[in-house]
Amino acid sequence: MKNFFQQAFSSPTWLRRALLVLLDGGLISLSFLGAFYLRFNQNIGLFSNYLSSHLWLLPWAILSGLAILFSSGWYQGLTRYSGSHSLYGLVPRSLLLTACLFLISSLADALRPPTSFWILYFLLFTAGAISSRIMLRDVLRFQLEKSKTIQQANNQKRNTPISVPTLIYGAGPTGASLYKALENDPRFKVICFLDDDSSLHGRRLLGLTIRSPLKLNSLIEKFQIEQVLLAVPSLSRHHKRQLVDKLTAHGLKVLAIPSLSQLATAEKVVEELRPVSIEDLLGRDPSKPDPQLLGVGVTGQSVLVTGAGGSIGTELCLQIHRLGARTLVMVERTEIALYNLDKELIGQLGPSPHCVAVLGDASDRNHLEFLCKKHHVDTIYHAAAYKHVPIVEANLCVGIANNMRSTSAVINAALSAKVKRVVLISTDKAVRPTNLMGASKRICELMIQEAAQTVEACRGGGPIFSMVRFGNVLASSGSVIPLFHQQIKEGGPITVTHPAITRYFMTIPEAVQLVLQSTAMAKGGDLFLLDMGDPVRIADLARQMVELSGLRVIDREHPNGDIEIRFTGLRPGEKLFEELLINPTDEATCHPLIRRAGKREHPTRKLKPLLEKLDQELTNWNVKGALSLIHELVPEYQPPTSSPNDPQQARSTSLTP
């Protein structure tokens, strides 16, 4: 009998409900008899007479009462999770149950029970049903806790790590919902809540004490805390990063809560708990798009994207399709990248006859022109480019030729096919470039500006050419973050080129969203600059990624740490600090995160012959001649005059400035 309740209520649903029905049937009978007894307890003879004359009502009380309870969904709830809300729901059912029995007795041609009987019957059944559910709930929870303890002991014998001592950061509704979802999970042993609100300190939530984050050290020492669950969904990225910094500095693993909708429905809460990733902390909180800007040039239009299989190109295609493009032409020369893009589009948005996957080279002007005319293209987003700095640096002719010729092909195809808009995806490395990739993108910007001048000189009637320049995007191909993830997975070391090197970061979806909105503001020859937020020091980024993995960086304070950060020296053409502006004459636009840079004109009569000469030198693989022309086209291009920093010198530099 000792495990009767646990076995009964873990049985199939029909058996569990049958046991509850029997219980409620017994409660109805006891309430019926008890009401008569309490009414006539001073006169046993009168009690016996009234009971015998009204005993015919008892079967009706049981049948009508159970019917009402069953049809109203009383037996659909889980007893172990019964709370005040569900128990209060019994009161209207008890009223209905009593009223139904009163109606039956009124219709019968017999003596009716006294008025006090009905009040006593209602009170006895309500109190009995609520009390029984509370007792059953507590017995079940006790049995589950006991089983959990036994399971923990068995798992410990098998050296299985479970019941990790855990804190929940945030004593609000989200924290309470999270605790309820984890309460019976054997893998989490929640010790208490942490909250910054001093008015809550010392109070209790769901039986757990709310403590100050200042007590974290003593809590770790006393309870051997290993992880913290963040339950503060309204926290900005900046403040979340500061908080995660403090927590990981104590060697704690930090997990993020699932979405609020999943918490509200208690859906997949445990499965969705995941370690906080560096991508969650970098950049600025995503901005809300302006719907009046977002769809211009896309909604109801035919759009062509070059480099569609790349990181930016893929997100461009996804967002353009969601915005209702009439036709989406996706040009990509890497077969596997095009296959993956097509598969992702189908997986996320379903198959569509309006999406055309084209295997082709963006440098092929005839092919681009054919595609633009065939699909009546209105807007081109030119994202195709070689962008990896060291590779382009080591392969000058191929890298420069690809970026320059693909831009030339896009311009000429757009002019010939009378495309309405052309947007070049540029980079912050085009500002006072110190590498050939940046110089090539600056040349592409000059080509776009020259094309815009040509259209303007012809008094319009041609495409609106514009450019958008931004920095690094998170998780893009070749990004430092996937590299660091891999190096941490392999046990290190993490390689950083210089202790002081910084970069701007933005999420791919937000960058693409801003690119699409800039299209609506273009007038011709515009160079748009995206607000990338604050720059991030890469050495700090590496340290935080190590700590988010539950490991320690090997340094002076932790000589026995897990992962070394090794400084290798700046690579050829690499900057310490990236810039987004060519000059300070930029101006605001109607979007707070998009600026318009002042144009730097290049004489049309000089640009075209220089580009033709450069193309010829690239065809002839004349590196020296090509470099000379690049310097003439981009006077601000300043490659490093000395070799990269000595690794030994860089390695000795402290992480702190």
pLDDT tens profile 495-547: 888 887 777 677 788 889 999 999 988 888 889 988 776 777 788 777 777 77
Give the CATH class of 291-648.
Answer: alpha beta
Please, which pLDDT band fits residue 262 given cuts at 50, 70 and 90? very low
pLDDT tier for residue 273 given thresholds of 50, 70 and 90? low
Domain range 164-276, its CATH number among 3.40.50.720, 3.30.465.10, 3.40.47.10, 3.40.50.2300: 3.40.50.720
Active site residue 429: yes
DSSP for residue 171: -
**Given a cut of 90, is residue 137 above it in pLDDT?**
no
Mean pLDDT of the chain: 78
**HEC profile of 554-569:** CCCCCCCCCECEEECC
pLDDT band at 82 (very low <50, low <70, confident <90, very high): low
Provide the pLDDT confidence category of residue 8 given band limits of 50, 70 and 90. Answer: very low
What's the pLDDT tens digit per position in 622-657?
Answer: 999 999 999 999 988 888 654 333 333 333 332 322
What is the rounded distance in angstroms from the CA atom of residue 248 to the CA atom of residue 280? 15
DSSP 287-352: PPP-HHHHTTTTBTSEEEEETTTSHHHHHHHHHHHHTTBSEEEEEES-HHHHHHHHHHHHHHH---
What percentage of the chain has pLDDT greater than the value 70? Answer: 75
Higher pLDDT, 382 or 508: 382
- Give pLDDT, residue 162: 62
Q: How far apart are CA 548 and CA 186, in angstroms?
A: 24
The confidence score (pLDDT) of residue 464 equals: 93
Question: Which has more confidence, 59 or 654?
Answer: 59
Predicted local confidence at residue 1, as pLDDT: 45
Longest CA–CA separation in the chain, Å:
122
Residues in the chain: 657
Gap between the terminal Cα atoms of the chain: 69
Burial bucket for residue 248 (CB in 10 Å: 0-12, 13-18, 19+): buried
Task: State the pLDDT at residue 646.
Answer: 39
Is 597 within 8 Å of 527 (Cβ atoms)?
Answer: yes
From-to residues of CATH 3.40.50.720 in the chain: 164-276, 291-648
pTM above threshold 0.75: no
**Active-site annotation holder among 240, 253, 429, 575:** 429
The residue type of 174 is: T
Residue 586: per-residue pLDDT = 73
